[in-house]
Amino acid sequence: MEEKKKQKKRMLILILLLLLLLGGYGVYHFFFAPKPAPMTVISGDFLPEGKDAKKMSDKELAALAQKKVDESNFNMMIVSEAVIDSTTQTGQLAIKNPESNAYPINVEIKEDKTGQLIYTSGAIYPGEEIKEVHLEHALAKGEYQTTATFSLYDSQTKKKQGEVSAGVTIFVK
């Protein structure tokens, strides 16, 4: 009989714990659980019928594609050797931005051994050229290996689009 009382007591405790657990869940669910936000569904937005658009011809597509290709091409033109006067630090150095280029450029020439910047062209727009230069950093008489870096810029935003380099030998006499 004592065994039955212990068993009833355990069963009662188990039922009370279960009721307590269910009651806790109920309190949480009704008072503390986040409420779902109502959503509005809008339907019925469809692509309207065509009005003014027309299909491009093959000729128009080819012209557009060629324009894009032309804009992506760049031709740099600079002589490979230049002679500079040692007293005036000026001389003949032809740099050209052909009209076929889409980008304005800036050319910087640096001495290979020291990395010293010896000339900057400033903006050269398509169709413009430089024939004579004045060095910004004086060089003594001798032969110098230099690198001319062509920086390409977007004509509207003035942001740099890329760069190309070429070697130039400068003779200072």
Per-residue pLDDT reduced to its tens digit, 74-118? 677 899 999 999 999 999 999 998 887 878 889 999 999 999 999
Quote the distance between the C-alpha of residue 108 and its chain's center.
22
For residue 170, give the nearest of 124, 119, 98 by alpha carbon.
Answer: 119
For residue 136, give the nearest of 169, 165, 111, 167 by alpha carbon.
Answer: 111
State the pLDDT at residue 84: 94
| pLDDT tens digits, one per residue of 44-69 | 565 566 666 677 788 886 776 666 65
Phi-psi region of 43 (alpha: psi -120 to 50; beta: other; left: phi over 0): beta
